[in-house]
């Protein structure tokens, strides 16, 4: 894989998709329908998916593509694949909360090795460089010219005073009970894959997810966190969260800075 080309293409496509998403976000009204699993989908999800999938297929025709919005791609199998959630945080988009992201990642041997998370309403972009290290690019963003980037790194956690980030739309008692096992200084909430990025930048130390997610929801954020020195493990046994599973469904997981002393389930 030509990682330099991959990063450049992922960045450009995420910006193009972000422009289309924000165009629809700015309308007075937009259609919301339900998928077979009752999750919402909007014109922005579909338009962003068309931009990203067409661009990836043109640039990397030899690489398998899995994207949330195209069910036919969910039958694909292989050790190396590109995986896309064109609009993660659709509920945040619908309620105009801004915490939605464009997500593109490369999985190799079960591990997300490169990825990009772009939050167009918040003007924040996080991605892995060709060498695998993660950076945050400062806006405004030019599709053809890389802006100022700063390398990001997980924090050295204080285990009696952790910063915890949890889901805005999927918080439940089980999550709160698990968080209660830690010494917590403060908590914040965020939507979509931004939670991984907050751990990657050191703005949070711990993100537990005790709820349903799919690989396209997590792969890009996982790649960014990996590139910042963090980790994502299964909730049940703290083994690494892997990708390429038969149904692309994730178990419960914990994203964290390695200095966090993880508690048992």
How does residue 63 score in pLDDT terms, banded at 50, 70 and 90?
very high
User: Residues 50, 172: one domain?
Assistant: no
User: Residues 101, 10: one domain?
Assistant: yes
pLDDT at 161: 98
Phi, psi for residue 121 in degrees, rounded to 5: -80, -15
User: Residues 184, 123: one domain?
Assistant: no
At 226, which CATH number?
Answer: 3.40.190.80
pLDDT at 233: 98
pLDDT digits (tens, 9 = 90+) for 246-260: 999 999 999 999 999
Last residue of a domain, one of 103, 132, 151: 151
% of residues, the chain, pLDDT over 90: 81
Q: What is the mean pLDDT of residues 89-102?
A: 89
At 118, which CATH number?
Answer: 3.30.540.10
Return the C-alpha torsion angle 167, 172, 178, 181, nearest 10: 90
pLDDT digits (tens, 9 = 90+) for 160-198: 999 999 876 667 889 999 999 999 999 998 888 999 999
pLDDT at 96: 87
Q: Are 265 and 235 in contact (CB under 8 A)?
A: yes
| Whether the predicted pLDDT of 51 surpasses 70 | yes
Mean pLDDT of the chain: 94
Q: Are 200 and 228 in contact (CB under 8 A)?
A: yes
In a domain, 60, yes or no: yes
pLDDT at 192: 84
Closest to 26 measured CA to CA, from 39, 43, 49: 43
Last residue of a domain, one of 126, 151, 176: 151
pLDDT digits (tens, 9 = 90+) for 139-166: 999 999 999 999 999 999 999 999 999 8
Q: How many domains does the chain have?
A: 2
Report which of residues 30 and 227 the model is more confident about. 227
User: Residues 185, 102: one domain?
Assistant: no
Distance (Å, rounded) from C-alpha 116 to C-alpha 105?
6
pLDDT digits (tens, 9 = 90+) for 76-86: 888 999 999 99
Least confident of 52-61, 92-101, 212-221: 92-101
In a domain, 264, yes or no: no
pLDDT at 55: 98
User: Residues 178, 237: one domain?
Assistant: yes
Domain encompassing residue 14:
3-151
Least confident of 29-38, 114-123, 152-161, 236-245: 29-38
In a domain, 133, yes or no: yes
Distance (Å, rounded) from C-alpha 78 to C-alpha 69?
19
pLDDT at 231: 98
Last residue of a domain, one of 102, 126, 151: 151
pLDDT at 2: 97
pLDDT digits (tens, 9 = 90+) for 17-45: 999 999 999 988 777 776 666 677 788 99
Phi, psi for residue 194 in degrees, rounded to 5: -60, -25
User: Residues 117, 188: one domain?
Assistant: no
Residues facing 40 on adjacent strands: 34
């Amino acid at each position: 894989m030509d990682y330099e080309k991959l990063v450049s293409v992922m960045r450009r496509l995420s910006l193009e998709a972000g422009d289309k998403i924000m165009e629809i976000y700015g309308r007075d009204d937009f259609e919301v329908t339900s998928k077979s699993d009752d999750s919402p989908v909007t014109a922005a999800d579909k338009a962003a998916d068309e931009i990203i999938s067409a661009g990836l297929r043109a640039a990397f025709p030899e690489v398998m593509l899995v994207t949330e919005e195209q069910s036919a791609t969910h039958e694909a199998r292989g050790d190396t694949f590109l995986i896309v959630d064109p609009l993660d945080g659709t509920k945040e988009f619908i309620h105009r909360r801004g915490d939605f992201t464009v997500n593109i990642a490369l999985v190799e041997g079960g591990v997300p090795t490169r990825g990009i998370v772009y939050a167009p309403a918040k003007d924040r972009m996080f991605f892995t460089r060709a060498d695998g290290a993660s950076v945050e690019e400062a806006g405004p963003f030019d599709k053809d010219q890389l802006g100022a980037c700063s390398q990001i790194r997980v924090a050295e956690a204080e285990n009696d005073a952790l910063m915890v980030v949890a889901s805005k739309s999927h918080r439940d008692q089980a999550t709160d009970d698990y968080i209660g096992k830690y010494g917590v200084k403060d908590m914040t909430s965020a939507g979509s894959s931004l939670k991984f990025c907050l751990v990657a930048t050191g703005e949070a130390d711990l993100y537990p997810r005790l709820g349903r997610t799919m690989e396209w929801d997590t792969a890009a954020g996982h790649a960014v966190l990996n590139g910042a020195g963090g980790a994502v493990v299964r909730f049940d046994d703290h083994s690494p969260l892997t990708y390429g599973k038969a149904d692309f469904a994730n178990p419960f997981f914990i994203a964290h800075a390695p200095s966090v002393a993880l508690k048992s389930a």
